Amino acid sequence: MIMTPIAALIILGMGVYLYQRRKKQAQLVYIEQYQFAPAIAAKVKSAYPHLNDKDVALVLQGLRDYFYICHQAGNKMVAMPSQVVDVAWHEFILFTRNYQQFCKKALGRFLHHTPSEAMRTKVVAQDGIKRAWRLACAKSKLPAAAPTQLPLLFAIDSQLKIEDGFVYALDCKNKKSPMYGDGYCAAHIGCSSGCAGDSGSTSSSNDSVGGDSSCGGGCGGGD
């Protein structure tokens, strides 16, 4: 049977699609299973002496989570929501060859570390932190519009009592909450209460995960 040009193109397209899909899945597995150099953990403990080994392991998981959501974002910038995870990222970059190899295998590109734009208000913030919120919620299987808890990258600084960390709360409007009037509020991440519910009215991104965000600090990764 002679294959028509259209059939050949369809088969070729399916082959390319399946190849890209397998490649992306392999990259995500690589990120999740990556083992960081012990010196990175040592640097985190040096910066925050009150952290124990279990705490530092959580920080490194937070760094994996960050690279995971950067992968999901493609070439779009994703801001870093956590100060302690940012310290680990800084240290990882100092291992130049290891970092370059990791980026190539995990992302297919070099992930630069650049300061994120200063937030003008708690209501108006850069697209990078909005994107981080949406994708972090998705990775933790949390509904971005009404999560019951914060995703790791947004919870870790408070959880580990990082003195210079970024603190977030699900609902800063609750006067009974210990977080009332403090930190960055998920109520300000693009909706009136709870978490991000506006799927794009203030964002120019086209990420597939619903919800919106507007808080943060730290640094952002992008091309």
Give CA–CA dist 176/32, Å, rounded.
38
State the Rg of the chain over Cα. Answer: 19
> How many other C-beta atoms are found inside a 10 Å radius of the C-beta of residue 26?
12
Given a contact cutoff of 8 angstroms between Cβ atoms, the answer to whether 146 and 160 are in contact is no
Given a contact cutoff of 8 angstroms between Cβ atoms, the answer to whether 87 and 63 are in contact is no
Percent of the chain past pLDDT 70, that is, above it, reads 65
Q: Tell me what pLDDT residue 220 has.
A: 61
pLDDT in tens, 172-219: 666 665 555 555 666 555 333 333 322 333 333 345 433 333 334 445
**DSSP count for the chain of H helices, then E strands:** 7, 5
pTM for this predicted structure: 0.75
- Worst-scoring range by mean pLDDT, 87-96, 123-132, 171-180, 204-213? 204-213
Asked whether the predicted pLDDT for residue 223 surpasses 80, the reply is no
Delimit the domains of the chain by residue range.
1-33, 36-222
